[in-house]
Amino acid sequence: MQIFNPATGTLIQDFPSATTASVAEAYRRARAAQPAWASTPLPERLAVLRRFRGLVVDRLEDLARTLTLEVGKPIRQSRNELNGLLPRIDFFLEATEKTLVDETVLDEGVKLREQITHDPLGVIGNISAWNYPYFVGCNVLLPALAAGNAVLYKPSEFATLTGQHIVTMLHEAGAPVDAVALLAGGGEVGAALLEQPIDGIFFTGSYPTGAKIAEVAGRKMIKMQLELGGKDPTYVCEDVDVASAAASLADGAFYNNGQSCCSVERIYVHETIYDAFVDAFVVEVKTFKLGDPMDESTYLGAITRRSQLAVLAAQVADARERGARLLLGGNVIDRPGNWFEPTVFADVNHTMALMREESFGPIIGIQKVSSDDEALERMNDSPYGLTAGVYTRDEARARRLLARVNAGSVYWNCCDRVSPRLPWSGVGRSGIGLTLSTHGILTFTRPRAWHLRGA
Ligand code: NAD
């Protein structure tokens, strides 16, 4: 396959894609290697994660440059991603032993004991997305390996070089070569991986691909996790500091060019401050510098996938046709590579694709609401449910609303945030299952229930 630089449209390099035969061979090797890896003492498995962390720190600048080169992310944001990976690794290092400890849930001596132990699933597949390849790849790879699984890792075809770096560093850190394998390639390689008799599939990507994966995994009756897209809403109440709420939400909508699963994709603003908020929001977005992703001052880089430009252009045309007010941007930028202007619409409504379908780009709609109930109704009017937020000075009011919103993660006065200590999950079309937190360690294990009678 060919790897292109999305900021220039130029070829970076050719890369050998996995084949059906090489996928099957990687599976056979992983199956053979997994029992020995699982019986390696847990502290030794965790030492691999610790050494991997050291390699990330040592190579951070080179890794950041590769990431920027292949996905078009501004260099400072690539460094942020790598630096953000470190506390995730620290969390797994700190929490895995305590989480996987054998539990005695009843102890009546020789008469009866009941225990739970946590077995690895076996050989699992990890099919991944490109937008935060270190985060989404490592959310699976690291706890899965720590728990004693072998992992067949299919990075996104748009982040292959980064995927290769991750696997190389894991090998250098001491993970057995066959216990973690890189399967480079596009969707057909992911499909070939699913054909193997794996014990679980952990997927990060879009709802349409997730639905295909679910069909196959359902027939195979294997453990399945799907971390999918979002149409993440935020409601801004009338009691906020308008300028700071606008600045926070502009960053939440445009960071990484809006190519985050938890980017702010819909903003509802109380009518009392609507005009002031819209003005402040546009002022903020105008400060974002677009340009060469390798430039230290760039905030908006290239759009990673060329095909997304047409999706964004169609959402703009549809919103304009249906009466939305275009305040900024709206066009594909005519230069080599994939570029789109930061785009802000006011006076949008839910007849528009912009407020219903994942945009996954630098485009946002702002809608006026007249009450908390109306805001809640609008926020819940979506098949997705990844994150949702409320901006207000009143914690009780925020909690009242956030408890009723359909979302895996809820934010009070913040957005576009992930914590290793909290479970990351979605409802509806945003997915099934979770990563991160202690739940995101246990998810790579199968509980074994022991009923023990001494005589
Ligand atoms: P995508 O669905 O196009 O691709 C995801 C992966 O699936 C890629 O590795 C791709 O090669 C593979 N694939 C494609 N067809 C396949 C098939 N038939 N069988 C098996 N594998 C196949 O998604 P993307 O463009 O890489 O990522 C963007 C999407 O991911 C967005 O919707 C975003 O919201 C979502 N995402 C979600 C989270 C989360 O944690 N919920 C995190 C990051 C991204």
Please name the residue that has the structure tokens 């149409």.
231
Distance 139 CA to ligand 1 centre (A): 15
Enumerate domains of the chain plus CATH numbers.
2-228+430-452 (3.40.605.10), 232-419 (3.40.309.10)
pLDDT for 186: 98
| 186 in Cβ contact with 17 (< 8 Å) | yes
Q: What is the pTM of this model?
A: 0.97
> Which residues have a catalytic role annotated?
227, 261
Is the predicted pLDDT of residue 37 greater than 80, yes or no? yes
Is the predicted pLDDT of residue 393 greater than 80, yes or no? yes
- The C-alpha R_g of the chain, in whole angstroms, comes to 23
Q: Is 153 exposed, middle or buried (0-12, 13-18, 19+ CB in 10 A)?
A: buried
Q: What is the pLDDT of residues 189-221, one digit of tens each?
A: 999 999 999 999 999 999 999 999 999 999 999
The pocket around ligand 1, CB under 6 angstroms, is made up of 127-132, 136, 154, 156-157, 186-187, 190-191, 194, 204-206, 209, 212-213, 227-230, 261, 358, 360, 386, 424, 426, 431
Q: What is the pLDDT of residues 414-443, one digit of tens each?
A: 999 999 999 999 999 999 999 999 999 999
Atom 34 of ligand 1 has which residue's CA nearest to it?
Answer: 229
Give the integer Cα–Cα distance in Å for 29 and 357. Answer: 41
Q: What is the pLDDT of residues 81-115, one digit of tens each?
A: 999 999 999 999 999 999 999 999 999 999 999 99
**For ligand 1, mutation pick of 153, 156, 219 (most atoms within 8 Å of CB):** 156
Distance 208 CA to ligand 1 centre (A): 9
Percent of the chain with pLDDT over 90: 100
pLDDT for 346: 98
Mean pLDDT value across residues 213-237: 97
Distance 144 CA to ligand 1 centre (A): 19
Pairing label, strands 384-385, 427-428: antiparallel
Instruction: Give residue 283's pLDDT band: very low, low, confident or very high (50, 70, 90).
Output: very high
pLDDT for 1: 96
Percent of the chain with pLDDT over 70: 100
Instruction: Give residue 288's pLDDT band: very low, low, confident or very high (50, 70, 90).
Output: very high
pLDDT for 59: 98
Question: Which letter, b or e, does each residue of 380-413 get, where b requires 16 or more Cβ atoms within 10 Å of its Cβ?
Answer: eebebbbbbbbbbeeeeebeebbeebbbbbbbbb
Distance 257 CA to ligand 1 centre (A): 17
For the CA of 185, the closest atom of ligand 1 is: 11
Instruction: Give residue 147's pLDDT band: very low, low, confident or very high (50, 70, 90).
Output: very high
pLDDT for 455: 77
Is the predicted pLDDT of residue 255 greater than 90, yes or no? yes
| 169 in Cβ contact with 119 (< 8 Å) | no
pLDDT for 69: 98
Beta-carbon contacts of 110 under 8 Å, excluding residues fewer than 6 positions away, are 453, 454, 455
